[in-house]
Amino acid sequence: QWRGVLNEYSDRLNISAATPIITLGEGGTPLIPAAALSARTGAKVWIKFEGMNPTGSFKDRGMTMAISKAMEDGAKAVICASTGNTSASAAAYATHAGITAAVLVPEGKIAMGKLSQAVAHNAQLLQVQGNFDDCLDIARDLATNYPVHLVNSVNPDRIEGQKTAAFEVVEVLGDAPDFQFVPVGNAGNYTAYFRGYSEEVARGATTKLPRMFGFQAAGSAPIVLGHRVDHPDTLASAIRIGNPASWDLALNAREQSDGYFGAITDAKILEAHRILSAEVGIFVEPASAIGVAGLLERAEAGFIPKGSTVVITVTGHGLKDPQWALRTADGSDVVPTIVPVDTAEIASVLGLA
Ligand SMILES: Cc1ncc(COP(=O)(O)O)c(/C=C/C(=O)C(=O)O)c1O
């Protein structure tokens, strides 16, 4: 069986025999051809479905590394700030390791699925009366002044673990794609994919780097705007971040990969969210759909050559924040169809009769 990314890629990660391997089987996620998106764009589109990780997001790749290294350092408690998925993952891996996790989330801005996971995994969850950026400032202060180990993506172990997704793409495609699309909050994952692909080039496993295309929500797009956003706002709560922790690393990755950062409106995020679930059969939380929206926008604008190989990483499962599938385009609630226990009636409603 798949043994988790630290075991599967041990020779390409900075772990040693002294590193305890804390794993829930993360990684080895599906790379799924998206015929509907290929038809819409003329590219050859693949979806890297990171919702299939143990806690339902890509964060598990980084957390297995961060918690394993924390255990190696003798940590007894970990701390993180989170818009939700990092807290769910930190809580799961910490409890699996037998240590405690404290998580700081912006009050009232965490999706129900993620809140449920952090509580279920016995984290000390504090809702901070501020936004994610305030939470990260506090978490860094706590890790500096108290005996708690910081597991946010400012911790390089997280980037190390997350770069394994690029290894898996290359294994399946036999080369790097022409374009790699990702959502961008702190820009840790954008940075991690660039690092993973760069290492593949260095070891001769690929002929090229993909162009790294990252997307931020229009109401929360500091890298696109070129300045911090003090009051970020988007329904894509996972990427509601105004001061990205890996900003400089991401700009470097963009330069070196002839990459791009773009902003996408909430309406276009929801449109892509629906296309992905209704036409491809992949259910994601809204932030994860921004890469699909980004591809549709870039293709429409003529920047994606026909026949290009495109990988879009969708980062969190739709079950994290299922409410969005139950709203119609104009924001009203989907009305359930209620029928009597009567075959003829139902056949008629289904349009069979
Ligand atoms: C579903 C989903 N998609 C994309 C991102 C952006 O990744 P980065 O650009 O590496 O930050 C996040 C980030 C979440 C957190 O930052 C957190 O959980 O604290 C996410 O949950």
**Ligand 1 atom index nearest CA of 80:** 19
Using CA positions, which residue lies closest to atom 1 of ligand 1? Answer: 316
User: What is the end-to-end Cα distance of the chain in Å, rounded?
Assistant: 48
Residue 304, pLDDT > 90, answer yes
Using CA positions, which residue lies closest to atom 12 of ligand 1? Answer: 238
Helices (H) and strands (E) in the chain, counts: 14, 10
Residue 182's H or E segment, with its range, is: strand 179-183
Q: Is 40 exposed, middle or buried (0-12, 13-18, 19+ CB in 10 A)?
A: middle
pLDDT digits (tens, 9 = 90+) for 316-334: 999 999 999 999 888 899 9
179-183 and 309-314 strand pairing = parallel
User: pLDDT value at position 329?
Assistant: 81
**Ligand 1 atom index nearest CA of 84:** 18
User: pLDDT value at position 113?
Assistant: 98
Sign of CA dihedral 39, 42, 44, 50: negative
44-49 and 31-33 strand pairing = antiparallel
* 188 within ligand 1 shell (Cβ under 6 A): yes
Residue 283, pLDDT > 90, answer yes
* 184 within ligand 1 shell (Cβ under 6 A): yes
> To the nearest whole number, what is the mean pLDDT of the chain?
97
The fraction of the chain above a pLDDT of 90, given in percent, is 99
Strand runs labelled E in 108-237: 124-128, 149-150, 179-183, 211-217
pLDDT digits (tens, 9 = 90+) for 37-61: 999 999 999 999 999 999 999 999 9
Residue 228, pLDDT > 90, answer yes
Contact 45, 301 (CB under 8 A): no
* Length of the chain (residues): 353
* 216 within ligand 1 shell (Cβ under 6 A): no
- Residue 216: DSSP 8-state: E
Contact 112, 319 (CB under 8 A): no
User: pLDDT value at position 117?
Assistant: 98
**Ligand 1 atom index nearest CA of 162:** 10
User: pLDDT value at position 328?
Assistant: 87
Residue 46's H or E segment, with its range, is: strand 44-49
Using CA positions, which residue lies closest to atom 3 of ligand 1? Answer: 315
The whole model's pTM is what?
0.98
Q: 114 vs 16, 28, 52, 57, 65, CA distance in Å? A: 32, 22, 15, 10, 20
Question: At which residue do the structure tokens 């898996």 appear?
Answer: 168
pLDDT digits (tens, 9 = 90+) for 201-223: 999 999 999 999 999 999 999 99
Mutate to test the pocket of ligand 1, among 152, 162, 186 (most ligand atoms within 8 A of CB): 186
User: pLDDT value at position 331?
Assistant: 85
Sign of CA dihedral 172, 173, 177, 181: negative
Distance of CA 235 to the CA centre of its chain: 15
Residue 98, pLDDT > 90, answer yes
Residue 22, pLDDT > 90, answer yes
